A and B are shown apart, each in its own frame.
Chain A
């Protein structure tokens, strides 16, 4: 069975600074994918970034980048130049190739301070 662990329940970050959110995973599948979603206080789920297990380069999307270390089974999200609007819950999720089902971690709450 797949397992996703986010060990940081909450973090403060100063506006304009970078923040790294940790995510470790466990799977026996050689092919898998890792997603990060943002959930603001309004409740919607917003896709941020995706990394495939066979991708050679770390994924980047604007201010978001994924530090993928396959041997360590980690897929940490880096948010650069934090903004007040980045305050939210952030979820790491692993994709099973059969049906593209997602297994979510418990989330990390980020609060950006002005």
Chain B
């Protein structure tokens, strides 16, 4: 199994541009998450989803949008990129229920200049 895959691995955006970060998992997990990690910091939750068609905001949702049309995919959309969105973005998934390990993708390193 591939687990959680993310594309692209790296991306440089100009201020004001938009892009979509792709995330796919092949473990049939209902729960999926998007985190961002700024340099030297812990991860912060952007959005999460408990199943197809259901999404909700995390701690830092401003400037982002998500959709969940299938169990496998959970894309993150950046509209009007700003330098403050320069970060490493991690997608994760987990089984339903408490105490379930979150499986993380390899991350996307985004720079906005």
Instruction: List A residues at the B interface (Cβ < 8 Å).
Output: 4, 6, 31, 33, 35, 43-45, 47, 50, 52, 91, 93, 95, 97, 99-107
Contacts and interface: CB of A to CB of B under 8 A. Distances in A.
Interface of B: 31, 33, 35, 40-45, 48, 50, 56, 58-59, 88, 90, 92, 94, 97-104, 106-107
Contact of A95 (B44, B59, B99): B99
Nearest to A45: B104
Contacts of A95: 98-99
Nearest to A34: B99
Nearest to A49: B101
A102 B43 contact: yes
A97 B98 contact: yes
Contacts of B100: 100
B99 A44 contact: no
B45 A101 contact: yes
Given A52-B99, A102-B33, 5 more contacts: A35-B101, A43-B107, A44-B104, A52-B98, A106-B42
Given A45-B90, A45-B104, A99-B31, A104 B99 contact: no
Contacts of B40: 107
Given A43-B88, A44-B104, A45-B90, A104 B98 contact: no
A5 B66 CA distance: 29
